[in-house]
Amino acid sequence: MEEQLIGIMGAIPQEIDGIIAILQDKTATTIGNRTYYQGLLGKQQVVVVYSRIGKVAASATASALLLHFRVSEIIFIGVAGGIAPHIEVGDVVIAKDLIQYDMDVSPLRPKYEIPLLNKTYFETSAMRSNQVKQHIESFLDPAVLHTKIASDELKKFAIDQPKVYVGTIASGDQFFSTDIQKENLQQALPQVLCVEMEGAAVAQICYEYQVPCSVIRTISDKANQEASFSFESFVQKISQVYGQEIIEKLFQ
C-alpha cells in the first residue's frame, strides 16, 4: 500500500516554523510561490506549507497539497481572533465545523450558502479532532505550559488557565480589529467561537476532494481594537510553540 502523506498548513510562517524545524529528512519543493517542506514527524510522512493569508491563498495551497502531493488529509494550524465572550487569548479552538461568513448570494440562495454546493457548514474529521483535543488539554495544563513558554510571556497575554473548545469557526477575507466587526458577527452567527481567514476555504476544498480536514486555532487576540497589537506579538512569541507542541504530540 502506498504510504499516506498528511498535509499540514498554516497561513503565515510563524504558525508552522516550529513544525518545519523538527522535520527529519526534510526536502523543499517550490510550486506557485509556496514552499512545501516534506519530511518525517515520528514515523509519519508529512508536507508542511504556509499558504499566506486569506481564502484564495489557502484554497490554492490546499489544492496543490491534494493534486501534487496527493495528501490523504489536511490539518490546518494557526491563530484566530476570539468572538464568543468566554474565549480568551491563549485558548485553543478546534473546529467542529466552519462557515464562510462573507459568502452572500442572497436572495438567490440563503446567506452564507456556497453557491452550487448547497452547503453552508463544512464539518471536520471528528476522529482527528478528538485525538488533537486530548493532546492540547495536556499541553495546556499550567504545569506543562510553564515549562514550554516563559512565565513572563504568558503573563503579558494574561494567559492563566487556557482552555480548549470545540465548535464553529468563521472564515472570511477581513482582519477583525473593531468592536463593530465583532458585534456584527456575534449577532449574525451567535454560535461562532472565533474568526480567521482561511479555515473554511480549506474545509470546502477538502469536502470537494473528499479528504478529511481539521482546523486548530490558538486565540491570539479578541478581534477588537487591540487585535493588531495582540496578534503581532502573539505570533512572534507564542504561536510557534503551540503549533509545534500540538503537531509533534500527534505523531509521536
Place of cell 503581532: 232
Indicate the residue among 199 and 212 with the shorter CB distance to ligand ADE. Answer: 199
Q: By CB under 6 A, is residue 195 in contact with ligand ADE? A: yes
SS3 of the chain: the string is CCCCCEEEEECCHHHHHHHHHCCEEEEEEEECCEEEEEEEECCEEEEEEECCCCHHHHHHHHHHHHHCCCCCEEEEEEEEEECCCCCCCCCEEEEEEEEECCCCCCCCCCCCCECCCCECEEECCHHHHHHHHHHHHHHHCHHHHHHHCCHHHHHHCCCCCCCEEEEEEEECCCCCCCHHHHHHHHHHCCCEEEEECCHHHHHHHHHHHCCCEEEEEEEEECCCCCHHHHHHHHHHHCHHHHHHHHHHHHCC
Q: Does 240 bind ligand ADE (CB under 6 A)?
A: no
Asked if residue 164 binds ligand ADE (CB under 6 A), the reply is no
**String marking each residue 12-51 x if it binds ligand ADE according to CB under 6 A:** ----------------------------------------
Stretch that binds ligand ADE, among 31-39, 44-52, 220-228, 243-251 (CB under 6 A): 220-228
Interaction of residue 80 with ligand ADE, rule CB under 6 A: yes
Nearer to ligand ADE, 41 or 219 (CB): 219
Residue 53 vs 166, nearer CB to ligand ADE = 53
Q: Please report where in the chains the cell 463544512 appears, as a residue.
A: 122
**227 is a site residue for ligand ADE (CB under 6 A):** yes
Q: How far is the CB of 87 from ligand ADE (least distance, A)?
A: 12
Q: Among 231, 240, 242, 244, which residue interacts with ligand ADE (rule: CB under 6 A)?
A: 231
- What residues numbered 120-159 form the site for ligand ADE, per CB under 6 A? none
Residue (of 22, 113, 26, 15) closest to 61 by Cα position: 15
The answer to the question of residue 81 lying near ligand ADE (CB under 6 A) is yes
Which window, 38-46, 59-67, 75-83, 116-124, contacts ligand ADE (CB under 6 A)? Answer: 75-83
Q: Is residue 93 a contact residue for ligand ADE (CB under 6 A)?
A: no
Nearest-angstrom CA–CA distance, 145 and 151: 9
List the one residue from 50, 221, 238, 250 that touches ligand ADE (CB under 6 A): 221
Q: Which residue, 58 or 71, is less far from ligand ADE as judged by CB?
A: 58
- Per CB under 6 A, the list member of 93, 197, 200, 247 interacting with ligand ADE is 197
Amino acid, single-letter form, for residue 217? R
Question: Is 197 within 8 Å of 55 (Cβ atoms)?
Answer: yes
Residue numbers of the site for ligand ADE (CB under 6 A)?
79-81, 175-176, 195-197, 220-221, 223, 227, 231
